[in-house]
Structure formats: structure tokens, C-alpha cells
Amino acid sequence: MEFQEILKFIKEEDVRMREHFYPHFDQEKVILARAVKLSEEVGELSDEILRSLNVQRKEKMDGHSHETLAKEVADVFMVTLLLAQSLDVDVQTIVKKKIQEIENRYNK
């Protein structure tokens, strides 16, 4: 899947979510809701990482697999893109700039 296809999906999902989950929210509430959702998803990813390292309590170990870990990574990625969409961040442009900044650190 190309990055443009992912961004197209994010724009479509943004519209769907606003219609179904946030129909009466202003832009600030949408941003806040997505920031909180991102925090939730990062917590779920952290839990899966603990499970993958076998450092979670026994009762929390059920249901872990590489697939569940990968799905949590995808959730964090998607919610981050939805938040960026809400903040009117051009992800493609800013990621290119960030990559260049990182590469410049090593090329000094």
C-alpha cells in the first residue's frame, strides 16, 4: 500500500468518524478526543510490549501474539494520522523534513 492511499483512507475515516462519533463536536473537541484516544492506544501498545517481553502479570498474558502487537502498532499509527489530519498537519511534507534533519545529524 502506498502512503498516498493511507492518507486518502485517513481523510475518508476522518469524515466518517466526525459523522458517527463527533457530530456535535467543534474542532477543538475533535482534537482533544483524538489526543486522548492516541494516549489510550499507546497504553494498549505498551501493554502488548510488556506481554511480548513476558514481563506482564500472568492474568494479563492471555491473548498475546505477534499479531496483537502488530495491530496495536497499527492503531497508534492510524490515530496519529487522524490527529495530524485534525491539526491540519501535512504529514508527508513534515516527515520528509524530519528525515532530512535526522540524516543531517549523521552527515556532519
Helix (H) / strand (E) element for 80: namely: helix 66-86
Q: What pLDDT does residue 93 have? A: 96
Kindly list the distances between the CA atom of residue 21 and the CA atoms of 15, 36, 38, 65, 89, in Å, as whole numbers in the listed order. 10, 14, 16, 30, 22
Q: 30 exposed, middle or buried (CB, 10 Å; 0-12, 13-18, 19+)? A: buried
| pLDDT, tens digit, 9 for 90 and up, residues 42-96 | 999 999 999 999 998 888 888 889 999 999 999 999 999 999 999 999 999 999 9
Q: Looking at the whole model, is its pTM more than 0.95?
A: no
For 88, the grid coordinates are 491540519
What SS3 class is residue 89?
coil
Going along the chain from its start, the domains and CATH numbers come out as: 3-106 (1.10.287.1080)
Q: What pLDDT does residue 80 have? A: 99
Is the pLDDT reported for residue 108 higher than 90? no
For 62, the grid coordinates are 492471555
